[in-house]
Amino acid sequence: MKPLLLIDIDGPLNPYAALAHRPLPEGYELHRMRPTGWQEGPALPVLLSPAHGEGLRALAARYELVWATTWKDEANRWVGPRIGLPTLPYIDWPAPPASAGADGVHWKTRPVVDYADGRPFAWVDDEITGFDRDWVETHHPGQALLRRIDPWAGLVREDFEVLAAWA
């Protein structure tokens, strides 16, 4: 059984922090979207790179790809087709709390470990910290790679290389 590759959108695929600067990062296209919860006001600006789809499709030979994003199943409608990904399974999160737990562990970390259910997994997210790594190391019986992605840059070549080598 392949390890899981758990993919967040905002940060890794959509380097939202880069929207504050012009020109846009090379290789990215700006899309305007209206996922659930974004129906009022201007459409949500989302930066996406077709190169990310290429890289993730290549990793699919080594991983089972899974959305690990608050976009949940809407990732298959709004993001996947724009970067050339097929429909992927997704983690159906509980409603996110306003902040990390008192222990500093991100609200996604426990559901990620529950979803993995002992399987090896790699997780790419822009909000991973040492608290999350420590918690996973203590509570997940399988191997895990937690890769923090810079929300100014999104996934870069080095991230794809690390993920390929880890698998």
How many Å is the Cα radius of gyration of the chain?
Answer: 15
DSSP-H helix ranges across the chain: 50-59, 75-78, 80-83, 109-116, 130-139, 157-166
**pLDDT tens profile 13-48:** 999 999 987 788 889 999 999 988 788 889 999 999
What pLDDT was estimated at residue 146? 98
Q: Tell me what pLDDT residue 101 has.
A: 65
| 4-13+50-166 CATH | 3.40.50
The pLDDT of residue 139 is 97
The closest alpha carbon to 150, from 6, 53, 13, 1, belongs to 13
Q: Are 4 and 66 in contact (CB under 8 A)?
A: yes
Percentage of the chain beyond pLDDT 70 is 96
**For 46-55, what is the mean pLDDT?**
97
Nearest to 111 by CA among 6, 22, 2: 6
Which pLDDT belongs to residue 97?
62
81-112 pLDDT tens trace: 999 999 999 999 887 665 556 688 999 999 99
Whether the bond into 94 is cis, omega within 30 of 0: no
pTM: 0.94
